[in-house]
Structures are given as structure tokens and as C-alpha cells.
Amino acid sequence: MSNFLFTSESVTEGHPDKLCDQISDAILDAILKKDQNAHVACEVTATTGLIHVMGEINTNCYVDIDKITRYVVNSVGYNNPECGFNGNTCAVISSINSQSPDISRGVNSSYEFRDGDSDVMNRVGAGDQGIMFGYACDETPELMPLPISLANKLAKRLAEVRKNGTLPYLRPDGKTQVTVEYEDDKPVRLDTILISTQHCENVTLDKIRADLIDNVIEATVPLEMIDENTRILVNPTGRFVIGGPVADTGLTGRKIIVDTYGGYSRHGGGAFSGKDPTKVDRSAAYAARYVAKNIVAAGLAKKCEIQLSYAIGVAKPVSIMVDTFGTGTVSDEALVSAVTKVFDLRPASIIERLHLVLPIYRKLAAYGHMGREDLRVAWEKTDKTEELLRAVGK
């Protein structure tokens, strides 16, 4: 379609699912600070008065899971009874086991390495089978789809005005949604902007609406894309006092579309948070974004989707797919060939190239893992454009 509406949503760091993502990744960060070779798969669920941390972790270090969990909950803003959930008084249960030795065998010594290929980059096998997607397009400076870019920025701004005291009646839980109108595949106007935010008991809906339009929406979105027909919806139920884990049980990995491209591109089979980078669900998704972004930044396509697939315990990808949706300046087949020449997509190489053993993950666990130029993550760099151009003969 050339003319259409497309909608993406985001949530604040106080949304119960995002709270769980942040706890999972804060535990991962704490472990990586002490043991960069740790294997971590950490899941969290949160409900009224209770947080349960679960998973499989192999490490030679100790971290205080209870202390980390409470720190995250409090820093998000659930630090007093008025919010309905309190990191100082909630129960924290931990159920941690070791990773299966059958999985560890394939991760620590890949199929290729065991078969006699002594290349050091072949040592690490993929932590699981799976498919991962990466995407980039020229709709925003960070080469992300506009709907998810704006939804994430609105959610982040909503948290900022709560934390800095501009709107002290706000509470941590919140959601945003942006509908963009496209003509000839280009974003031309904002059709609908939706914000639902938790708030204290004694504030009126009229005040919330006026304050959010002034301090969040107009401070965030491109005003030239708003017209007289743009709908702005603020707390359409009329009331949002009870929120967070009290209102809705949270779970790690349940906001995967928020984490990536807002549904504008396909998503692989796995979530990111709580997983160390040997899990290709995470590391290869970052690598796929890195590849797609460099293709678009090089001017080889206006939009580009990459699919990678892996087999558990095998270092090299099983398949690589490039789709430029007819916008490429060379064939998609030529781009696949260029990608295989320019990018080493084995897990060990991805981990090294993108600095994935660093404790960077808690900051990524809210407001998206892709397009995060504000965090200076390596997969947002466009440092492979010249190599790609040479590889396709340009």
C-alpha cells in the first residue's frame, strides 16, 4: 500500500512488563560487571506485593538479587505506598538454577570448533536456534520507523516530567500510541496521539489533558505534522489511579514489539531482556539492526529488513535474507553477498564487535533497544557504509 495509516505503541519504565525487563537486565548487568563469561537467562514476574526472579545462571560470581530488584523498583518510582507498589516492602523470591550442561556444551564449543575449525571466532556456538530480524528506513534521523520513534519518545518524556517534578501528580505506569498517515509510503501527518498515564487520586482529567499536551506532546512530536484533524486522546477511560503490578501482572519479555520496530518490521521468535549475548535472540537481533542500518545509511536502500537464522551450538548463521522492498539501488541478492563479505555474524564476532559483554542492558530495557543513539550503542553506528559500497561495486 502507498497510502495508509500505521500505529505503534510504547510504554513507560513503570509499566509492569517493562519493570520486569529492567530487573532482568539489571541482574544481567551486575553479573557481567564481575564475570563476562557468565551464561544468564533471567526471568521476572511481578504482581501485588510480590516479585519472583527465576532463571538459569552459570557464573563464578555472586550478586545480591534481592538488593538489585528493590533498587530497580524504587528507582522507577514505586517507592511509596501511594503508588500501590513499593520496592521497600514487597516480597522478593528467587528461584535460580544452572544452565543445562547439554546447552552449555554447544555454546562453549561450537559445532565447527569441535569439527576441527580452530578459528577463535568459531569457539562460541549460538545459544539456541531461532530467527532474528533487523530493520532500518529513512523516515527519521536515527533510521527508524516514525510511529515507534515517536511512541518511544513520548513515553520517555512522560517519565521525565514525572521524575523532574514538572507534573508531580503522575505515577510510574503509562502507555503511548501514535498513528501516522502515509502517502506514497512517506509519513505526512499524525492522525492520532494517545497517552494513558497513571496519576494520583485528586487530579482532574482536564488538568491531565492540558498538562500532557503542553509538557509532553508539544515538547516531543513534530508540530508541523499535527493538523486540525489530528485526534489527541488522553486517559480515554477517564481515570487511571490504580496501575503498575497491582493492576496488571508484569512479565519479562512481553513487550518485544516495543523493544524493536513497533510492528513496522517483522520480529523474531525471542525476547531480549535477561539474556546474556551468547543468546542470539538478543545479540543477532542487534547485529541484524546494525547491518540494516548501514545498508540504508550507505544509500543502498530506503528501507531494509534483514533476517538471520541460527542452529543451536553452530557458530555460522544458517541463512541470511535481505529485503529492500523494491527500494534498493542494487539487487537484494547482491546485498546478501555484500553482507556476507562485510559482516561476521558468528556469535563470538558479534559479541566482540558490538561490545556486548559490557553492562549496558538495564538502560536498554525501556524505550526501545533499536534507534538508541542516545545510549551510543555499537549497533547504531554507521561505520560499515564504505565497505558495503565497495562490496557492491559502487
| Each residue's pLDDT tens digit, 152-170 | 999 999 999 999 999 999 9
Give mean pLDDT, residues 279-286.
Answer: 96
Residues 199, 205: Cα–Cα separation, whole Å: 10
pLDDT at 116: 62
pLDDT at position 89 over 70: yes
**pLDDT for res 84:** 85
Distance CA 88, CA 158 (A): 24
Written as one letter, the residue type at 88 is N
| pLDDT greater than 70 at residue 104 | no
Q: What is the mean pLDDT of residues 256-269?
A: 95
How confident is the model at residue 275, as a pLDDT?
A: 96
Give the pLDDT of residue 218.
97
- Position 120 pLDDT exceeds 70: no
Model confidence at 251, pLDDT cuts 50, 70, 90, reads very high
Residue 123, pLDDT > 80, answer no
At which residue does the C-alpha cell 553506528 appear? 381
According to DSSP, the residues that pair with 180 across neighbouring strands are 6, 190
Grouping H, G, I as helix, E, B as strand and the rest as coil, residue 169 is coil
Q: Cell for 194?
A: 494517545
Residues 235, 195 contacting (CB under 8 angstroms): yes
E-strand spans in the chain? Answer: 4-11, 39-47, 50-58, 91-97, 130-137, 170-183, 186-199, 231-234, 250-251, 303-310, 319-323
Q: For the chain, give the mean pLDDT.
A: 93
Q: Is 274 left (phi over 0), alpha (psi -120 to 50) or beta?
A: left
pLDDT at 246 over 60: yes
Looking up cell 489530528 gives: 230
Q: Are strands 91-97 and 50-58 parallel, antiparallel or unpaired?
A: parallel
| DSSP label at residue 83 | G
Query: Stretch 21-48: mean pLDDT, rounded?
Result: 96
Q: Is the pLDDT of residue 103 over 70?
A: no
- Tell whether the model's pLDDT for residue 366 goes beyond 60: yes
Q: If you average pLDDT over residues 228-232, what whole number do you get?
A: 97
| pLDDT in the model for residue 315 | 86
Residue range 363-387: mean pLDDT, rounded = 98
Q: Across residues 349-376, what is the average pLDDT?
A: 97
How many CB atoms are located within 10 Å of the residue 237 CB? 7
User: Kind of pairing, strands 170-183 and 130-137?
Assistant: unpaired
pLDDT at 109 > cutoff 60: no
Residue 351: helix, strand or coil by DSSP?
helix
DSSP letter at 275 equals B
Task: Return the pLDDT at 119.
Answer: 67
- For residue 281, pLDDT over 60 is answered with yes
How does residue 289 score in pLDDT terms, banded at 50, 70 and 90? very high
Question: What integer pLDDT is reported at residue 237 of this predicted model?
Answer: 92
- Percentage of the chain modeled with pLDDT above 70: 93
* Helix (H/G/I), strand (E/B), else coil: 257: helix
Helix (H, G, I), strand (E, B) or coil at 86: strand
Q: Report whether pLDDT(316) > 60.
A: yes
pLDDT at 81 (0 to 100):
84
Q: How large is the average pLDDT for residues 196-221?
A: 97
Report pTM: 0.94
Residues 7-30 pLDDT 10s? 999 999 999 999 999 999 999 999
Query: 312 falls in which pLDDT band (50, 70, 90)?
Result: confident
pLDDT of residue 106: 52
Query: pLDDT grade, residue 80 (50/70/90)?
Result: confident
User: Which among 280, 282, 264, 262 is positioned nearest to 272, based on CA atoms?
Assistant: 282
Arithmetic mean of pLDDT, 195-199: 97
Angstrom distance (rounded) from CA 148 to CA 145: 6
Q: Measure the CA angle with vertex 189, ends 188 and 191; round to 5°.
A: 140
